[in-house]
Amino acid sequence: MPHMGMTMTEKILARHAGKASVVPGENIWVGVDILMTHDVCGPGTIQIFQKQFGAAAKVWDREKVVVIPDHYIFTKDLHAHRNLDVLRRFVTEQQLPYFYDVGTPKYKGVCHIALPEEGHTRPGEVLFGTDSHTCTAGAFGEFATGIGNTDAALILGIGKLWVKVPETMRFVFEGPLPPYLMAKDLILHIIGDIGVDGATYRAMEFAGDGVMSLTIEERMTLCNMVIEAGGKNGIIAPDETTEAFVKSKTGKPYEVISNDADAPFHSLRVYKTKDIEPTVAKPHSPDNRDTALRCRDVVLDRAYIGSCTGGKVTDFRAAASILKGKQVKVDTFVVPATTEVARALATEYLDGESLQSIFEKAGARISQGASCAACLGGPSDTFGRLNKSEVCISTTNRNFPGRMGSKTAQVYLASPYTVAASAVTGKITDPREFLG
């Protein structure tokens, strides 16, 4: 049987398993470059680690563990505070250098955006995190995926994980992005096509000039929602954009991995970007796809711009370009993903005015703390949480019942352009009405 080439995902896993080659479906022990955990899953991971390896056990490599509280932090909830205490105690005992604790100058915000900002995402590496949206980091040409507490506890102890090699589905976007589309529209379009289980335990690779022309933040949005299609990981080939970003954040060495010319794919889907319209996902599933235009009769109570999916500088620039000089008709919440993004709201200008000023003059409410906020619901005092049967349009990644709070609320997912346009009119609105 002739030797077949490998995809990026297969090559990265093979190298981290010390093997010349691997094939989809093969089970291998994979060495880990970075393990990330946060305030929701960290305490459970720590408990399992100490139970299995002993109360006095040390983590396998202090330099490779990153701890980022971000989910339930700006709240009076005592259970949430207890989780933070568990993290602090463990970090102190283990002397872990990469702990971005809330209430300190090191505090960052949402883990998936904090990781690249702090130089923890690098091409060719393996990153595991106790959060399903860890797949965001595939935008940097690495294997990144979410895992459970038990797997994370094993990694803490031995620095390896038993992994099944996934098949790779390839998604190609031809043609530069029209000025009214964002990465969110592309990924919602795909999920609408293949369904929330359409990529179950497969790698989703994004390619084509429609992808490679995207900023690094927009590529992160694409990879972020791979899990909403059931994907194991998302991945985009590194290029000059990737390397410029990574080198600006870290001096650590890395290796760029690319597909072999004869790499076999599970499937190939090719889209023409000019054929895609501003897209929304209707309640209560990310694959309940429709166009913003066809949803124009949906009356809204709230608009929400934030999260690992829609709380980056690119997202706020897009929203501000529509909100500038206008007033919102519904409660509009602006939540920066990280402290770095929050600072950028004051320092990034659009036609001579800061993004922060644009949002404030439009009547939006800006969160005082960078965090996940209402994206995962959280305690009732969480900023932006839906506490009653409201209809919300949001830049977040999930619209399951109860995801952003009340189980009777309805959440529509959309791009920052579409959310901002809808905030101005009070109904779901195609952003082309404002973008010309």
Q: What is the pLDDT of residue 4?
A: 82
pTM as predicted: 0.97
Angle at 381 between CA 379 and CA 386, to 5 degrees: 80
Express each pLDDT in 91-106 by its tens digit: 999 999 999 999 999 9
* Segments of the chain scoring below 70 in pLDDT: 1-3
- The dihedral built from the CA positions of residue 239, 178, 176 and 276, taken in this order, carries a sign that is positive
**Inter-helix orientation angle 240-249/216-224, to 10°:** 100
Contact between residue 230 and residue 199 where contact means Cβ atoms under 8 Å apart:
yes
Cα gap 236→234, rounded to integer Å: 7
Q: What is the pLDDT of residue 1?
A: 44
Question: How many other C-beta atoms can be found within 10 angstroms of the C-beta atom of residue 158?
Answer: 14
Measured in residues, the chain has a length of: 436
Angle at 92 between CA 91 and CA 95, to 5 degrees: 80
- Cis previous bond, 284, omega within 30: yes
DSSP state of 415: -
DSSP state of 294: G
Phi-psi region of 55 (alpha: psi -120 to 50; beta: other; left: phi over 0): alpha
Q: Which helix (H) or strand (E) holds 308?
A: helix 307-310
> Quick one: how many helices (H) and strands (E) in the chain?
15, 20
